[in-house]
Amino acid sequence: MKAVRIAGFGAAPVLEEMPDPQPRAGRTIVRMAAATVGHIDRTVWTGAFLRHPPLPYVPGVEAAGIVVASDRHAPGQRVWVRGSGLGTMENGTWCELIDAPDEALGLLPDGIDMALGSAFFSPCTSAWVALHEVAKLQPGERVLVTGATGAVGSMTVQLARDAGAIVLARIEDAALQPADLLVDTVGGPVLEAALPCIAPGGRAVLVGYTAGNALPLNLAHFLQRDVALLPLNMFRREAAGRAAVPELLARLADGRLKLEVRRFGLAEAATALEWIAQRGHRGRAVLVP
């Protein structure tokens, strides 16, 4: 089979021939139809993630495809694939035949195309868990979303509106009518500028730190304003994300939730890794065989 491999951190991804995986107990072989290139894959690739597969490795945390061989799933079944160490502790999804732990799979309804089936999990479940599990959003609350044009940000905007919240997608808007909740996907100076726009007693869910990983905190202001800073860690909250999947897939299928996906060839992994790091790109990237 063909697979994208990385020989060292930050090294160019190379499309190579590798032996096909063989059926094993507890594992499902999936013919890949689309494999996401996400920020997590970039972080593992640069060596900055807290764990990584042994080098050289096949990246890719997420994918969608068709079951080829499995004790648990019927051959021919459409599935999405995510996590359980794929692309972070062992070889991942950027290959024609994915060797996945059985528990990494979920059933993909016919109404969802493979590219969307690969790309939806991280942005949709992150936004859902941020709003409903971490922030406990209530109808009528004002929600400021930073990075609202991003994949997680745009899912947060759509899900918050669906839940009856009033969404503020610009810090200037929240400066005029303070938010009850901030969902920050950007970090650094953007988070610093957004925090004073939260009403006293409000809360902020911290999702990402593309713009910087440091936050100067004036403790006097922080205590006086009594704003709760709540981290989102989707590896620790994976179970809550998985529990929300049927509802999220139903909304993607009926068009209540929309996520743009851009396709790249399997040989274009380097271009996709560059594209997702560019300001102004829209939606998620997937590799297709």
Interface contacts to ligand NAP, rule CB under 6 A: 39, 122-123, 126, 147, 149-153, 185-186, 190, 207-208, 210-211, 232-234, 276, 279-280
For residues 97 and 194, which CB has a smaller minimum distance to ligand NAP in the complex?
194
Residue with smallest beta-carbon separation from ligand NAP: 150
Q: What are phi and psi of 181, to 5 degrees?
A: -140, 135
Query: Given the complex with ligand NAP, which of 28 and 146 has the nearer CB atom?
Result: 146
Which amino acid appears at position 32 of this protein? M
Q: Classify strands 62-69 and 27-37 as parallel, antiparallel or unpaired.
A: antiparallel
- Which residue, 1 or 270, is less far from ligand NAP as judged by CB? 270
Q: How far is the CB of 135 from ligand NAP (least distance, A)?
A: 13
CA 60 to chain centre: 12
In the complex with ligand NAP, which residue's Cβ is closer, 158 or 185?
A: 185
Contacts 24+ apart (CB under 8 A), 40-46: 40/87, 40/88, 40/122, 41/87, 41/92, 41/273, 42/273, 42/276, 42/277, 44/87, 44/88, 45/6, 45/9, 45/10, 45/13, 45/273, 46/9, 46/10
CB of 185 to ligand NAP, least distance (A): 4
Q: How far is the CB of 152 from ligand NAP (least distance, A)?
A: 3
**Which is closer to ligand NAP, CB of 17 or CB of 172?**
172
CB closer to ligand NAP out of 53 and 208? 208
Minimum distance of ligand NAP from residue 237's CB (angstroms): 7
Indicate the residue type of 169.
Answer: A
To ligand NAP, the closest distance from the beta carbon of 242 in angstroms equals 14
Rounded least distance, CB 76 to ligand NAP, Å: 31
Q: Are strands 142-146 and 166-168 parallel, antiparallel or unpaired?
A: parallel
Nearer residue to ligand NAP within complex by CB, 27 or 284: 284
Q: How far apart are the first and last CA of the chain?
A: 11
